[in-house]
Amino acid sequence: MQHALIVAHPNPRSFVASLAIAYGEAAESLGHKTIMRDLYGMAFDPCLKADEIPSSSGFAPRDDIVAERLVIEDTDVFALFYPFWLNAPPAMLKGYLDRVFGMGFAYGKGRDGNEPLLGGRKLISFTASGAPADWVRRTGAWEAVRTLFDEHFAAVCGLAIADHIHFGGVVPGIRGDVVARHQQAVRDAVARQFGPH
């Protein structure tokens, strides 16, 4: 099984990045392959260009998107790692999904509209916020993210949602033992979702 770890945080030593590292270690311990996609580290361009938008005159993905799709085309599990900023995912992640998971890769033209092209694959997400998780839920942010970045995105692509685990109250200077506990929760989720049953 191959996992694409898509990380949207500008600090490679961030709490969010540490979750991706723990995920990768857990998946590889199961004999799975992982591909790390550090969007900021790659200097990924999240800005969708006018000629990338499907229209009656056609469209063509740019070379960087063609190359990225080749890297992740054999992925079985797309694992998203991102913080909540202003109670929403970073623009970098939205731009990556807009450009990479567009027409011809994640969905295509069907007889009755767009049809998903990534059926049989899975989506799992790990998110973090400085605000406590119960506050994120009370404000509606959790439901909004789950609706748009889990349910809608998965349905458009044909992905099955494996899980979405959120860590609230993550602040600068978080204690090492708390980080380790959260990393273990990520490892446990990988074992539960993708280990032998």
The type of residue at 155 is: A
pLDDT at 145: 96
CATH number of the domain at 26, please: 3.40.50.360
Domain that holds residue 47: 2-194
Q: What is the pLDDT of residue 171?
A: 81
Distance CA 96, CA 100 (A): 6
pLDDT of residue 111: 82
104: alpha, beta or left? (left if phi > 0; alpha if psi -120 to 50):
left
Q: What single DSSP character describes residue 179?
A: H
pLDDT of the chain, 197 residues: tens digit per residue: 999 999 999 999 999 999 999 999 999 999 999 999 999 999 999 999 988 888 777 788 999 999 999 999 999 999 999 999 999 999 999 999 999 999 999 999 888 888 999 999 999 999 999 999 999 999 999 999 999 999 999 999 999 999 999 999 988 778 899 999 999 999 999 999 999 97
Number of other residues whose CB lies within 10 A of the CB of residue 42 = 13
Tell me the pTM.
Answer: 0.96
E-assigned strands of 8-72? 33-38
Domain count, the chain: 1
